[in-house]
Every structure is written in C-alpha cells, then in structure tokens.
Amino acid sequence: MKASNELRALRDAFGLFATGVTIVTGRRPDGEPVGVTANSLASVSLAPPQLLWCLQRESTSMDAFAAGRPFAVHVLKLDQEAQAMHFARRAAGKFVPGACSAGGAPAEPPHVEGALCRFECTVSALHPGGDHVIIVGEVGSVTAAAGEPLVFQGGVFGRFYPQPRARHVEAWETFSGDWF
C-alpha cells in the first residue's frame, strides 16, 4: 500500500498527460439513464473499430456498462465545461428535465447535445484494471461536428492551440520523413 503522498504524486504525474474530456452515457437494465465524465478515453483499433475507457470500480453507474450493453461517448467542446462538471458528480438522477434531458429513443444511450463527436458503441469486453474496469467498446457509428475541443491538464480545463506552423500528421501511417 502506497503512502498518500506517493498516491498524490502519481495522480499529479498522470495529470501531466493532456487529454480531451468526454461524457459517457448509458442506461441501466431498467432503462434509467446514467452519465459519467471521463478523460480516460483511448482509441484502440480501426478494424474492427474499437475504443476504450476506464470506469472506477466504485462507480454507481457500473451496471449500465455490462457486456453487450450500448453506450455513447461524447467528446466535449470548449464551451461544455459546466456539463463536464455536472456529470463528474456522484449523484443519482443527473439527467433532470431543464438541465440535462435524456434525449433520444428510450432504449438508446442519452444524447449530450452540442458535443464535438458522439461514438455509438456496444460493450465488447471488460478487463480488470486495478481500482478501475477497462471497458472496450465496439464502435457502431460516429457523428462529428466542427468546433474546438475541451482539454484537461494538470487538474484544470483549457483549450488547444496548434503550433504556429503545424503540419498535419497522419498518426495511423508510418512516418518516414525528417522531423528535425
């Protein structure tokens, strides 16, 4: 067991890695909508199309993300910080009419309006990840919009500034040119 100052240092070090911010939505087996703010999203595979994110074992939303269940990942825009904080609360009934309605068909994962991108997924695998569960999703469809992403780094929200003369990098392809 690590001392609390070591845990703090590890947490701070993880926080140096800048990420986007997402809200992952789903429904419990009885249909109740759930939503969780998560920055642990990672792309996994193009063929088959897969992504992953990590959910704390103690999350009250766990039963919404069992194997085979549908869920949706919403990549947030710069102006969605308040929604990120809303869905970071441990509270039942985060979807309240007026504030955040659980839009969409009754059976599908709720929509977070105004997001940069929505990935519709099905839970294809669950892996143990210490105090988290690694949730792998098969991506069924993608809806993307124009806009700026919300960024999270060092425990604060911010925005992304491309380098002044940024070159477009095809990260999926092998790079064989000169960088320097």
Give whichever of 8 and 175 is closer to ligand FMN, judged by the CB atom: 8
SS3 74: strand
Choose the stretch contacting ligand FMN; rule: CB under 6 A; options: 3-11, 58-66, 104-112, 139-147. 58-66
Q: Is residue 122 within the footprint of ligand FMN (CB under 6 A)?
A: no
Q: Which residue blocks in 15-139 are alpha helix, DSSP H?
A: 81-86
Measured distance between the N- and C-terminal CA atoms of the chain, rounded to whole angstroms: 44
| C-beta neighbour count of 111 within 10 angstroms | 17
Minimum CB separation of residue 173 from ligand FMN in Å reads 28
Q: Is residue 11 within the footprint of ligand FMN (CB under 6 A)?
A: no
Q: Is residue 80 within the footprint of ligand FMN (CB under 6 A)?
A: no
- Chain centre to alpha carbon of residue 128: 18
| C-beta neighbour count of 130 within 10 angstroms | 8
Select from 44, 78, 88, 126 the one that contacts ligand FMN (CB under 6 A).
88
Q: For residues 50 and 137, give the distance between their C-alpha atoms in angstroms, rounded to a whole number.
A: 6
CB 26 within 8 A of CB 61: yes
x/- letters, 15..44, toward ligand FMN (CB under 6 A) = ------x--------------xxxxx----
Choose the stretch contacting ligand FMN; rule: CB under 6 A; options: 51-59, 65-73, 105-113, 138-146. 51-59
Choose the stretch contacting ligand FMN; rule: CB under 6 A; options: 50-58, 114-122, 137-145, 162-170. 50-58
Q: For residues 49 and 109, give the distance between their C-alpha atoms in angstroms, rounded to a whole number.
A: 19
Judged by the rule CB under 6 A, the positions of this chain that interact with ligand FMN are 21, 36-40, 53-56, 59-61, 84, 87-88, 90, 152
